[in-house]
């Protein structure tokens, strides 16, 4: 596997140079956004932060306020991405994000949007909340906390060497589609069924 270091925000060219199977280490500022945020953006509503060129992270972190009044991320693994499938393509197009980070992969609409607009899907290791929280250097801010609650808010996180695997690239390739196809073939062999 290739290991590639990237600093957010990234250019379209940088994103198009990535391929399925590349391991990336992300630094810079990324934004959490899950169900409520995606629905909100899809409906054409605005948010108070500019996410263009950056990454949206499907994550509902555990965040606490320390005694000095600073936010501190205690756990920050990815949530299942398919729930955003109806919205993601529009969000990639309208808000110019270059990477979607999550887990479990995404479907055909997102795959096409990644190809058309220059974006990649980065798969973080689900459940690895501590490994990923350790990469968070600072919470730069939070938006929509009041409206959506803590897990659904937009947390602006400064990260260093956040590890993830490219599983959908900007060339129309998807590791998820490949594994689904090969495992289906294997399943049919095991069950003795033909398709």
Q: Which residues bind another protein (CB under 8 A)?
A: 1, 21, 23, 36, 59-65, 71, 74-77, 79-80, 82, 103-105, 123, 125-131, 133-134, 142, 145-146, 149-153, 163, 165, 167, 175-176, 178-180, 182-184, 186-187, 190-191, 193
Residue tagged active-site, from 38, 58, 123, 176: 38
**Minimum separation from the CB atom of position 53 to another protein (A):** 26
Count CB-CB contacts under 10 A for residue 140: 13
**Minimum separation from the CB atom of position 127 to another protein (A):** 4
Six token digits for residue 94: 């309208």
Residue 38 falls in the annotated catalytic set: yes
Six token digits for residue 183: 């495992």
**Minimum separation from the CB atom of position 12 to another protein (A):** 25
Which residue, 50 or 184, is less far from another protein as judged by CB?
A: 184
How would DSSP label each residue in 83-98? GGHHHHHHHHHHH--S
Which residue, 34 or 98, is less far from another protein as judged by CB?
A: 34
CA–CA dist 19, 15 (Å, integer): 9
- Four-point Cα dihedral 92, 118, 132, 137, nearest 10: -90
Six token digits for residue 99: 């990477």
What positions carry a catalytic annotation?
Answer: 38
């Amino acid at each position: 596997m290739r290991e590639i270091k990237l600093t957010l925000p990234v250019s379209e060219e940088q994103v198009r140079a990535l391929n399925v199977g590349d391991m990336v280490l992300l630094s810079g500022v990324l934004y959490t956004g899950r169900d409520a945020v995606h629905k909100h953006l899809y409906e054409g509503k605005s948010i108070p932060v500019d996410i263009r060129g950056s990454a949206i992270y499907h994550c509902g972190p555990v965040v606490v306020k320390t005694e000095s009044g600073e936010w501190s991320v205690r756990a920050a693994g990815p949530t299942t991405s398919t729930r955003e499938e109806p919205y993601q393509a529009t969000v990639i197009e309208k808000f110019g994000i270059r990477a979607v980070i999550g887990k479990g992969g995404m479907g055909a609409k997102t795959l096409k949007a990644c190809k058309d607009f220059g974006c990649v899907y980065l798969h973080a290791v689900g459940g690895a909340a501590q490994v990923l929280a350790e990469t968070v250097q600072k919470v730069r801010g939070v938006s929509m906390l009041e409206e959506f609650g803590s897990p659904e808010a937009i947390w602006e996180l400064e990260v260093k060497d956040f590890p993830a695997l490219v599983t959908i690239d900007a060339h129309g390739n998807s590791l998820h589609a490949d594994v689904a196809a090969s495992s289906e073939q294997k399943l049919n062999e095991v069950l003795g069924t033909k398709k």
